[in-house]
Amino acid sequence: MSILTVATVPFAGQRPGTSGLRKKVTEFLQPGYLENFVEAIFNTLGDCRGKTLVVGGDGRYFNRTATGIIVRMAAAHGFARVLVGQNGILSTPAVSCVIRKHGAFGGLILSASHNPGGPDGDFGIKYNGDNGGPAPEKFTDAVYAATGTLAQYRISDAAAPALDAIGSTQFDGMQVEVIDSVADYAALMGELFDFPAIARLFASGFTMRYDGMHAVGGPYAHAIFESMLGAPAGTVINGTPLEDFGGHHPDPNPVSAAELIDIMFGADAPDFGAASDGDADRNMIVGRALAVTPSDSLAILAANATIAPGYRDGLRGIARSMPTSTAADRVARALGIPSYETPTGWKYFGNLLDAGMATLCGEESYGTGSNHIREKDGIWAILFWLNLLAATNKPVDTIVREHWARFGRNYYSRHDYEAVEVAPAEAMMAQLRERVATLAGTQLGSFTVALADDFAYTDPVDHALATGQGIRIVMTDGSRIVFRLSGTGTEGATVRLYLEQYEADPARHERDPQQALAPLAAIAEQLSQLQSRTGRSTPTVIT
Ligand code: G1P
Ligand code: ZN
């Protein structure tokens, strides 16, 4: 077998976004498109000889083919060993776990997360480094630059190895190890959480419904919740990964996971509901007739972290992305630990976790995680809640309401305007950027603006500066309006409007969030003319 050097020409637009390169499958299917991007990554890494690479994805359409191409290219670039999930399947958190556990050089994750799959859907690829986390911007910028000048890529001419059976084979001078997709990850979960207590909870008749959304979480949930923890069969629904996720949007929010919400809000609802997304790094937590806001979930886990064996010694700090509600900051203050506000995207948590400055991290977009790996982690968050439910013997809604009573409630909602025209969306952001410069100290409705800016972040560890991370308008009472353009969409522009209002008075904690936030929404519209500019009278999705 030999190494082929294949002539190629650069593809425009191979710039990684919030989380890797995400494009329509049709774009990825162009000959050389994936190969060019992988070549750019390997060239940016430099000398790959003798190193170990992890490869896996969420099982969406093109996952298996892409895995084969990557393995053949890894052999051509001199990697000594590739660890591949069985059938090319590894959740994003599992890749992070496997990289760390096996001391790999890095890993390639094949996923477009919560974006739809199938031949007409999306595909994605990103590189994670030896800490198990998404490569920093410095690296992804270099990869993008490399994609612009490629003239050739290298690939083994051998046929891609079979990935069906667990075991090790030699492949063109490289060792290919097909690993159990779940085992390493499940072992780590067993170290962090009180599995015997959770098993006793299930044995006592506690009921749960986990919606795998036909995505990669299913195999992990079957193994951990049903086989290891003894939850009855049927606890996991939609648990078989499908290449097109059954035609659904594999995003665990009340809109996309409507089936689970119907179950949890119906008669005879189970005690606990949960879901994860395409690559199982996101989570949604649902009690009987109550969907827990992700920002609240982060705050609640932080406030109760010491119930879990892995966090018994307490937390070093809590980090949240800027648009995420400030509920977790209140917990950090009460615990006497630092809190950090980072730009959107998990990669910004990496340095804080590596430096031991933060233990828990979270994003409003249904992402929660900790220093156990360097990705957000859906199954982990669900296990944390199960551990909390087992330790307190209280239902989800009681835990949430007691939290609000102690810390106050941060009413919170995100309004997404998807696939709008790029030019008016960018014009709106530009106008807002100008406007916020003079907003501080002014009156907006019943609010007074304390601070308004285009969020910029200096990483406290490596001092890297990230600018233009979203328009933030913070009121003197802590209420906030945030505007951002999505960095993960694959069609036009997506405008995200985030609204947050703090309410200390427990007598006012049972309001409908959209009603509670209506005054802020009106101010946001008045400032931005979002709806008239985009020609939309309502958001595409409200979470
Ligand atoms: C979205 C979320 C963000 C998350 C990212 C990857 O990015 O808003 O919190 O980190 O997906 O899951 P966005 O499309 O807003 O750039
Ligand atoms: Zn995801």
Q: Which ligand is nearest the CA of 252, by number?
A: 2
Give the C-alpha separation, 543 to 533, whole Å: 22
92 within 8 A of 58, measured Cβ to Cβ:
yes
- Residues listed for the chain: 543
pLDDT tens for 93-132 read: 999 999 999 999 999 999 999 999 999 999 999 999 999 9
Distance 269 CA to ligand 1 centre (A): 31
What crossing angle do the helices spanning 92-101 and 183-192 adopt, rounded to 10°? 80
Task: Tell me which H or E stretch contains 283.
Answer: strand 283-287
174: nearest Cα among 52, 300, 62: 52
pLDDT for 487 equals: 85
387 within 8 A of 509, measured Cβ to Cβ:
no
Distance 323 CA to ligand 1 centre (A): 10
pLDDT tens for 307-331 read: 999 999 999 999 999 999 999 999 9
Q: What single-letter DSSP state applies at residue 130? A: T
Q: What angle do CA 139, 142, 143 make, to 5 degrees?
A: 90
| C-alpha dihedral (134, 361, 121, 485), degrees to nearest 10 | -90
Q: Which two tokens stand for residue 434?
A: 């100008």
347 lines ligand 1 (CB under 6 A): no
Distance 526 CA to ligand 2 centre (A): 33
Q: Which two tokens stand for residue 336?
A: 């006497």
Domains defined for the chain, CATH in brackets: 3-181 (3.40.120.10), 185-407 (3.40.120.10), 409-542 (3.30.310.50)
**Quick one: pLDDT band at residue 17, thresholds 50, 70, 90?**
confident
Give the ligand 1 atom nearest the CA of 487: 16
The pocket of ion ligand 2, defined by CB under 5 A, consists of 113, 277, 279, 281-282
This prediction has a pTM of 0.95
pLDDT for 137 equals: 85
Query: Which residue's structure tokens are 């207590």?
Result: 197
pLDDT for 489 equals: 74
Distance 414 CA to ligand 1 centre (A): 12
DSSP per residue, 486-515:
-SS-SSSEEEEEEEEEEE--GGGSSS-HHH
Provide the annotated active-site residues. Answer: 113
pLDDT at 18 over 80: no
**Quick one: pLDDT band at residue 490, thresholds 50, 70, 90?**
confident
363 lines ligand 1 (CB under 6 A): yes
Q: Report which protein residue has its CA nearest ligand 1's atom 4.
A: 345
pLDDT at 483 over 80: yes
Give the C-alpha separation, 119 to 297, whole Å: 35
Give the ligand 1 atom nearest the CA of 345: 10
pLDDT for 491 equals: 81
pLDDT tens for 359-413 read: 999 999 999 999 999 999 999 999 999 999 999 999 999 999 999 999 999 999 9
Mutate to test the pocket of ligand 1, among 363, 364, 368 (most ligand atoms within 8 A of CB): 363
Give the ligand 1 atom nearest the CA of 281: 12
pLDDT at 353 over 80: yes
Q: What angle do CA 288, 291, 295 make, to 5 degrees?
A: 140
Give the C-alpha separation, 57 to 69, whole Å: 13
pLDDT tens for 45-92 read: 999 999 999 999 999 999 999 999 999 999 999 999 999 999 999 999
